[in-house]
Amino acid sequence: MARSDQFSALVEQQPANVLFRFSLAQALLAEGRPADAVEHLTLCATQRPEWMMPRILLGKTLLGLGRRAEAKARLAEALQLAIAQDHEDPAREMQALLAELG
């Protein structure tokens, strides 16, 4: 059984549980299914505005899918959270990605 199948079952049981959705998104990304992960990462970012990691993963995923404008917006949000939460390494990473996007 694929890891995403395990988390899909948990999400079916508790669709509002953002931790299950985040884990499902990570599993989908690991399985090479980025387009399927977008919905779950978006929900996590929407439901928890202070949660930086879903925005980072969502930005990178959107970038990989060629959705640059959407990626830029999510990466900018992640950068602001990284700065506000004193996460120096993610802040530097987001600054570099945003600089590449122009």
Q: Which domains does the chain have, with CATH numbers?
A: 3-101 (1.25.40.10)
Span 10-19, average pLDDT: 96
* Residue 87 half-sphere exposure toward CB, CA atoms < 13 A: 17
> What band does 1 get if pLDDT is binned at 50, 70 and 90?
confident
CB 55 within 8 A of CB 23: no
Q: How far apart are CA 42 and CA 93, in angstroms?
A: 20
Mean pLDDT of the region 56-78: 97
Q: What is the pTM of this model?
A: 0.94
- pLDDT value, residue 102: 85
Round the average pLDDT of the chain to a whole number and report it.
Answer: 96
- Say how far apart CA 89 and CA 8 lie, in whole Å: 31
Place of tokens 């990178």: 60
